[in-house]
A and B are shown apart, each in its own frame.
Chain A
């Protein structure tokens, strides 16, 4: 498979996952705000920080109010992490690789992008926000299913999966970071009712609430949630499982040593960290998430160098 095609597929999958996860992040934050009394002081601003988009946001917006933040995250195509921006980027990546993908995948990506830009383009109408987020999440899930059901087990499928898992891992940690960020005012008392509300929202944004309840029979508590999200081996949006899947997929590719090693390092970090303790130490959680994200970058760099690297690739391997 051509490196360019592999790279396009990888990014297509990353952008699709990013669109879905950003939609999830927005949805859960919004619900949380609605539940929370006296919303005036809530930190919409932290959603921008979680997304790592402070710089680009400040370039285009002056105020971090609900309307600006939601517009930016959902409908601003100048930002490739916005839902519409990510869908557009997924579509452009797929456009040049249409010939290796089942035709219905292209049609669905195209349709999803057009439907979403019909709902919001540039500005958003808050009354239609839920509708928009639902369309995005459902559309992305339909695509995941379509890829699973119609793409042969070839490198094309592997690169889609690799991109999807890596992006998902990244977004899981960002969503978890909501806890450490100032989305809600920090309270000295760990047992405030809002505390649990907030952990519940983390679970819900990952569609993890029911799975968590089946797994952990007790009431929702921070330490259990963090442990579940980071370490659960069964839940598809748990980091541990996500990284293991990523490793398994990578190992089927040629010359995968370096990339697999980088993922293994991340798994090592997970294994040695006392996950439960993080729940009560927001700053520690935030620092840990930062470390993980640096690790994701290293995985990406390894993938880039091994399979996509350009002209100046130093020692090309010649296969015949």
Chain B
């Protein structure tokens, strides 16, 4: 007896990524839907079990803290892929490239001439209050003017089918290793679906990343020394740090492995002695990267690395200070930023945003706390948010106080009805909300966008929280080649 019957799939009133309506798969998802509905109950169970075994055997984990203990949890994965037709993806890709290009011009401008402020497009007081603006970076111009070499932008789709950019992560975006591992798991458990050859591959990322990093080397040599700098095994993304180092064949280092010499060059301590380091892909936060320049208490960083960077003897990726542009209040200005630097309209829209520092916006937010999502400017991982429709009057009152006390620190957005995609539950397949995090690599003249990205899914029915630290799961993301037919399948249909 088949387990999955798309005719009874309850996606009414929602935008579903795979089905136009109950019983009607979208063209790009037809093959997957047919395949899944052809399986009987035990075959679906086997498929789920096979995925779990694959994840265990491959050792894909993420780290959570619980009662002071560090626990490696198996990565939560749903086997039903999220599917995007390639012609729609081409549009998203163009939008992301445009966005990241503008953001890099913006950061470079802020640390140098500040034309955008002088021209009255971006308010000076916003910059003064930004916690991610680094004085130590003023006057620096990294090669190519690139600050955010790696960007992870979160995309969501509203119920009318429009894809919005929800936020940009320009500091140390994580998740790309899971994007790659999810694909490996899918290929292991559902190889037959890949034989059609219409699912575009994702595994080029580590090579692209390596090439980008190598191109950043101040010494123009054929094999520059590249390292991945991790805060260590207690970091929640340690798995990813080790994975990327391994995939690129470079050393995974901790702060204590590096030393800055009197020549202002960075060296790593090896059994052969000190070896010159050219490029550091750092997964340590700005404030901890150099106790000489930032937090003097930091033991995760490398004393003097900022000195070396300023002198240009080592490349840092992402550049310190890049986070100034991923502040959620700055976010609201990104459409203006794109128009200002590129003289073009944004290809991908922002979610409408209310900035609590603006009096009118603040009034609107305080009057509508039960309907809006309120976010602090500088938190990530979904912490410190108020999701209006799911909140209690007490929580709303608490946020009202927080906002009044520090309006600069809060912004609000309408609660989007995030799109859903079919997800296996214990005995059925049900719609669950998803977002998407593609990764964008910028290296001067070239920009690379991952084919798809990491789809995160809120495994709890009705929930909008997709963060893995808070009970979210993930899916493989398939960009399916639709043969350039340009069916108007994507937006709105």
Which of A2, A6, A98, A313 lies at the interface centre, i.e. has the most chain B CB atoms within 10 A of its CB?
A: A2
A contact residues around B245 at 8 Å (CB): 99
Interface residues of B in 258-278 (CB under 8 A from A): 259, 261, 267-276
Q: Is A311's beta carbon under 8 Å from chain B?
A: yes
Q: Is A149's beta carbon under 8 Å from chain B?
A: no
Q: Is B246's beta carbon under 8 Å from chain A?
A: yes
Verify A1–B270 contact, CB threshold 8 A: yes
Distance of A95 Cα from B256 Cα, bound (Å): 17
Verify A99–B246 contact, CB threshold 8 A: yes
Of the candidates B233, B246, B259, B270, the one whose C-beta lies within 8 Å of that of A2 is B270
Verify B253–A317 contact, CB threshold 8 A: no
Q: Is A66's beta carbon under 8 Å from chain B?
A: no
Verify B256–A316 contact, CB threshold 8 A: no
User: Chain A's nearest CB lies how many Å from the CB of B270?
Assistant: 6
A contact residues around B276 at 8 Å (CB): 318, 320
Interface bits B238-263 vs A (CB < 8 Å: 1, else 0): 00001001100001111011010100
User: Chain B's nearest CB lies how many Å from the CB of A111?
Assistant: 13
Q: Is B59's beta carbon under 8 Å from chain A?
A: yes
A contact residues around B95 at 8 Å (CB): none
Distance of A6 Cα from B257 Cα, bound (Å): 12
Q: Is B201's beta carbon under 8 Å from chain A?
A: no
With A3-B257, A4-B256 known as contacts, the answer to whether A318 contacts B242 (CB < 8 A) is no
Interface bits B33-62 vs A (CB < 8 Å: 1, else 0): 000000000000000000000000001000
User: Chain B's nearest CB lies how many Å from the CB of A99?
Assistant: 5
Which of A1, A3, A310, A316 lies at the interface centre, i.e. has the most chain B CB atoms within 10 A of its CB?
A: A3
The number of inter-chain residue pairs (CB within 8 angstroms) is 61
B contact residues around A311 at 8 Å (CB): 256, 259
Q: Is A103's beta carbon under 8 Å from chain B?
A: yes
Which of B261, B273, B276 lies at the interface centre, i.e. has the most chain A CB atoms within 10 A of its CB?
A: B273
Interface bits A228-260 vs B (CB < 8 Å: 1, else 0): 000000000000000000000000011100000
Q: Is A282's beta carbon under 8 Å from chain B?
A: no
Q: Is B232's beta carbon under 8 Å from chain A?
A: yes
Verify A2–B273 contact, CB threshold 8 A: no
Distance of A320 Cα from B270 Cα, bound (Å): 11
Nearest-CB residue, chain A, relative to B261: A316
Interface residues of A in 255-290 (CB under 8 A from B): 255
Verify A99–B252 contact, CB threshold 8 A: yes
With A98-B242, A311-B259 known as contacts, the answer to whether A318 contacts B271 (CB < 8 A) is no
User: Chain A's nearest CB lies how many Å from the CB of B87?
Assistant: 39
User: Chain A's nearest CB lies how many Å from the CB of B62?
Assistant: 15
Distance of A33 Cα from B174 Cα, bound (Å): 58
Of the candidates A96, A99, A254, the one whose C-beta lies within 8 Å of that of B271 is A254
Q: Is A40's beta carbon under 8 Å from chain B?
A: no
Verify B242–A319 contact, CB threshold 8 A: no
User: Chain A's nearest CB lies how many Å from the CB of B303?
Assistant: 9
Distance of A311 Cα from B271 Cα, bound (Å): 14
Distance of A95 Cα from B63 Cα, bound (Å): 13
Verify B268–A318 contact, CB threshold 8 A: no
Verify B274–A155 contact, CB threshold 8 A: no
Of the candidates B254, B256, B261, B274, the one whose C-beta lies within 8 Å of that of A317 is B274
Nearest-CB residue, chain A, relative to B232: A96
Interface bits A297-320 vs B (CB < 8 Å: 1, else 0): 000000000010011010011111
Interface bits B342-382 vs A (CB < 8 Å: 1, else 0): 00000000000000000000000000000000000000000
Verify B272–A2 contact, CB threshold 8 A: no
With A2-B269, A318-B273, A319-B274 known as contacts, the answer to whether A99 contacts B59 (CB < 8 A) is no
B contact residues around A2 at 8 Å (CB): 251, 253, 257, 268-271
B contact residues around A310 at 8 Å (CB): 256, 269
A contact residues around B271 at 8 Å (CB): 1-3, 6, 155, 253-254, 307
Which of B233, B253, B271, B272 lies at the interface centre, i.e. has the most chain A CB atoms within 10 A of its CB?
A: B271
Distance of A96 Cα from B230 Cα, bound (Å): 11
A contact residues around B267 at 8 Å (CB): 316, 318
User: Chain A's nearest CB lies how many Å from the CB of B292?
Assistant: 14
Distance of A95 Cα from B275 Cα, bound (Å): 24
User: Chain A's nearest CB lies how many Å from the CB of B147?
Assistant: 28
Distance of A6 Cα from B268 Cα, bound (Å): 13
User: Chain A's nearest CB lies how many Å from the CB of B10?
Assistant: 42
B contact residues around A313 at 8 Å (CB): 269
Verify A99–B273 contact, CB threshold 8 A: no
Distance of A317 Cα from B272 Cα, bound (Å): 7
With A2-B251, A98-B242, A99-B245 known as contacts, the answer to whether A318 contacts B257 (CB < 8 A) is no
Verify A316–B233 contact, CB threshold 8 A: no
B contact residues around A96 at 8 Å (CB): 232-233
A contact residues around B232 at 8 Å (CB): 96
Nearest-CB residue, chain B, relative to A99: B242
Verify B272–A254 contact, CB threshold 8 A: yes
Interface bits A1-44 vs B (CB < 8 Å: 1, else 0): 11110100000000000000000000000000000000000000
User: Chain B's nearest CB lies how many Å from the CB of A38?
Assistant: 48
User: Chain A's nearest CB lies how many Å from the CB of B247?
Assistant: 10
User: Chain A's nearest CB lies how many Å from the CB of B242?
Assistant: 5
Which of B267, B268, B269, B276 lies at the interface centre, i.e. has the most chain A CB atoms within 10 A of its CB?
A: B269
A contact residues around B256 at 8 Å (CB): 4, 310-311
Known: A1-B270, A2-B251, A95-B233. 8 other contacts (CB 8 A): A1-B272, A4-B253, A4-B256, A6-B271, A99-B252, A253-B271, A255-B273, A316-B267
A/B interface sample: 9 pairs, CB < 8 A: A1-B270, A2-B269, A4-B253, A4-B257, A6-B271, A254-B272, A318-B267, A319-B270, A320-B275
**Which residues of B approach A to under 8 Å, CB–CB?**
59, 232-233, 242, 245-246, 251-254, 256-257, 259, 261, 267-276
The 6 closest A-B pairs by CB, nearest first: A317-B273, A319-B272, A3-B269, A316-B274, A99-B242, A307-B271
**Which residues of A approach B to under 8 Å, CB–CB?**
1-4, 6, 95-96, 98-99, 103, 155, 253-255, 307, 310-311, 313, 316-320
